Amino acid sequence: MIVVGLDLAGLPSNPTGFALLINREFKTGLVHSNEEIFELFSRNRSALAAIDAPLSLPAYGNLRQADRLLIKRGLRVLPPTFVGMKKLTARGILAAGELRERGVGVIEVHPRTSGMILFGTAERKEWLKRLRKKGLMVVRDMSEHEVDAIIAALTGWLHLTGRTEEIGTLDEGMIVIPRGSL
């Protein structure tokens, strides 16, 4: 089973981190264009795409129900309609639609939230350290985009194994988060 985590950039000129989770080993890298992202999925028959980007818009106002519920839990998320998030949200909706058309399952994730739930910290170095202790192969230095993609892929794998919850509503979209620590 292959799960792909994407830390999607709002613009193709910026790096999008990806992580493939294959048999307890993460393979990571950076891509830019939508074509590179879709080619990644064509080469790797993934069971699921876990995307770190808003994949829907609020029915009204600036926040979706999922965003409100995470904020209520003390977790930090940005509104999909926030100036700096508009391009990311549009690209996320486009990528999710294209992947679904290609038969790939897609979920929205938020790696910072997953990291807080799984490891009790927002520190990426600590996430990697704890993953290594759990026997998950994370073998080289990498960008923060790749680290976020690793946590996205891990959240996707937890989702496939029934260890997540979906926050939000069907009409506005769901954010998938882990149910407890790793």
Structure tokens given for 156: 């996707």
Strands 25-31 and 173-178: unpaired
| b/e sequence 78-96, b meaning 16+ C-beta within 10 Å | bbbeeeebeebbebbbebb
- For the chain, give percent helix, strand, coil, nearest 5: 40, 25, 35
Burial 5-22 (b: 16+ CB within 10 A, else e): bbbbbbeeeebbbbbbbb
Q: Is the pLDDT of residue 1 over 90?
A: no
DSSP for 131-176, written as a single string? HHHTT-B--S---HHHHHHHHHHHHHHHHHTT-EEEEEETTTEEEE
Q: Domains plus CATH for the chain?
A: 2-178 (3.30.420.10)
Residues listed for the chain: 182
Name which residue leads in pLDDT, 44 or 119.
119
Q: Whose CA is closest to 18, among 41, 1, 35?
A: 41
Structure-block tokens of residue 120? 């009790």
Please state, in angstroms and rounded to a whole number, the distance separating the CA atoms of residues 148 and 58: 24
| Model confidence pLDDT, tens digit, residues 73-104 | 999 999 999 998 999 999 999 999 999 999 99
Q: Which pLDDT does position 81 carry in this prediction? A: 93
pLDDT of residue 181: 84
> DSSP state, 10?
S
Distance, in Å, from the CA atom of 157 to the CA atom of 21, rounded to the nearest integer, reads 8
The tens digit of pLDDT for each residue in 124-180 reads 999 999 999 998 887 677 999 999 999 999 999 999 999 999 999 999 999 999 998
**Percent of the chain surpassing pLDDT 70:** 99
In SS3 terms, 23-59 reads as: CCEEEEEEECCHHHHHHHHHHCCCCEEEECCCCCCCC
Task: Report the candidate in 107, 105, 113 with the shortest Cα–Cα distance to residue 178.
Answer: 113
